[in-house]
Chains A and B, each alone.
Chain A
Amino acid sequence: MKVKVIFILLAILMAGFLLIGPAFASEAKLNEDPEIKERFKHLASELRCLKCQNQTIWDSKAGLADDLRKQIRTQIYAGKSDDEIVEYMVDRYGDFVRYKPAVDMKNLFLWVGPFIFMIVGGLLLIRYVKIRRTQTEEDNDTISDEDRLRAQSILKQGGDK
């Protein structure tokens, strides 16, 4: 009987934890315009929390992330566009604040590098296969006249024992 009561209490406690998690993470306001809510979530998920580098501002519980979330919300209400808000963050924290940095001269190689490697690798592979193919064809052709005559005589005799 006692065990059962403890079990139920534990279950309630665990259910409570499930509720706390999301309440912490999003702190989205109830009754907020769903469009604004969506923009806020989108922006906060695209920006990095500098304090805890592998989390987004949306995910992080760091004090700085909290301030930046407030900043984003304030700017949305002030009528700033998404681009303007991202620019505001990049001006202060650098490109690293974006999870998907814009293409510019500094990071161009990181964007196109993999494709360059793929093309160069592909070309090398094609060349290699071609070289191998002509080589095997050449190998097939290089039977000396002497060998050919011998082969013919063997075939005529019906094998040499």
Chain B
Amino acid sequence: MSRRVLPFAAIIGVVIMLAFFYRGLQLDPKILPSALIDKPVPSFNLPQLHDAAKSFAPEEMKGKVWLLNVWASWCEACRSEHPLFMQLSRTGDFPIYGLNYKDKQVDGEQWLRELGDPYKVSMSDLAGDVGIDFGVYGVPETFLIDKDGVIRYKHVGPISRKDWREIIEPKMIELNQLKGQ
């Protein structure tokens, strides 16, 4: 009996392994799952980019579904998602806040003057400490935060129109329909 079962078991084993390999080859090892999904947004209080005398804290956003986009003037990939953000900011349905990560204030402001400013508010995280609290390891990164201040989704790398249409927009619409606590 074992003579017939053994080769059969071996073939099943190889097929299972191939299934794992196939899946593994499609994953991008540079995109890491965030440890912060379904956790409350880290608390911070940062000066605003355009007016350092004013500050911004995420607690102000209670009751709203919003995006926190980590960007920098030195970040090339940020340029590729910027036109999409400009378009979104014109309708105003999806508020985008910017975390200007490890950037000089002058450079950040210059960048926004050149390309347009899609952000309701940008915060200066010159030292990158708030970035560490958000587990940022590459720019751009974008966090989707719900009405209760819980992080629901994180996108690593620039958001393409396809990412927006197929993943982020549906999620935002869904979260907007939910009632916050």
Enumerate chain A interface residues (CB-CB to B < 8 A): 50-51, 53, 63-64, 67-68, 71, 90-96, 124, 127-128, 131
- State whether the Cβ of B135 lies closer than 8 Å to any Cβ in chain A: yes
Question: Which partner residue on chain A sits nearest B29 by CB separation?
Answer: A53
Which residue of chain A is the closest to B37 with respect to CB atoms?
A94
Instruction: Give Cα distance in the complex from A93 to B128, angstroms.
Output: 15
The size class of the interface chain B forms with chain A is 10 to 19
Contact B135 A93 (CB under 8 A): yes
A120→B114 CA distance, assembly (Å): 65
- Write the chain A residue with the least CB distance to B42: A92
Asked whether, in the complex, the Cβ of B102 is within 8 Å of the Cβ of A50, the reply is no
B135 touches A92 (CB 8 A): yes
Inside 8 A of A51's CB, which chain B residues have their CB?
137-138
Do residues B33 and A94 form an inter-chain contact, with CB atoms below 8 A? Answer: yes
Q: Which residues of chain B come closer than 8 Å to A93, judged between CB atoms?
A: 32, 35, 135, 137
Contact flag A92-B133 (CB < 8 Å), given A51-B138, A128-B2: yes
Q: How far is the CB of A45 from chain B (nearest CB, A)?
A: 18
Q: Is the CB of A96 within 8 A of B32?
A: yes
Contact across chains for A67 and B128 when beta carbons are under 8 A apart: yes
Would A64 and B137 be within 8 Å (CB), given that A71-B132, A91-B35, A93-B35 are in contact?
yes
Q: Are A92 and B35 in contact (CB under 8 A)?
A: yes
Cα–Cα, bound, A71→B29 (Å): 25
Chain B minimum-CB-distance residue to A49? B137
Note all chain A residues with C-beta closer than 8 A to B127.
67
- Chain A: minimal CB distance from B96 (Å): 23
By a CB distance below 8 angstroms, the chain A residues around B30 are 53
Instruction: Assess the A92–B6 pair: CB atoms within 8 A.
Output: no
Asked whether B111 is an interface residue with its Cβ less than 8 Å from the other chain, the reply is no
Task: Point out the residues of chain B lying under 8 angstroms from A95, CB to CB.
Answer: 35
A90 touches B6 (CB 8 A): no
B91 to chain A, nearest CB (A): 33
A127 touches B2 (CB 8 A): yes
CB distance from A94 to the nearest CB of B (A): 4
Q: Closest approach, in angstroms, between the C-beta of B20 and any C-beta of chain A? A: 12
B34 close to A (CB within 8 Å): yes
A101 to B133, CA, bound (A): 20
- In whole angstroms, what is the CA distance A81 to B127 when docked? 24
- A148 shortest CB reach to chain B, Å: 30
A-B contacts besides A67-B131, A131-B2, 8 pairs, CB < 8 Å: A50-B137, A64-B137, A92-B35, A93-B32, A93-B35, A94-B34, A124-B6, A128-B6
B134 at the interface (CB under 8 A from A): yes
Taking a contact as CB atoms under 8 Å apart, the answer to whether A68 and B135 are in contact is no
- A residues in contact with B133, CB < 8 Å: 92
User: Hey, what's the 0/1 contact readout for B129-167 against A, CB within 8 Å counting as 1?
Assistant: 001111101100000000000000000000000000000
CA distance A92 to B29 in the complex (A): 18
Is B175 at the interface (CB under 8 A from chain A)? no
- Is B132 within 8 A of A92, CB to CB? yes
- Nearest B residue to A88 by beta-carbon distance? B132
Any A CB within 8 A of the CB of B36: yes
- Residue pair B32, A50 in contact (C-beta under 8 Å): yes
How distant is the Cα of A131 from the Cα of B35 in the complex, in angstroms?
Answer: 51
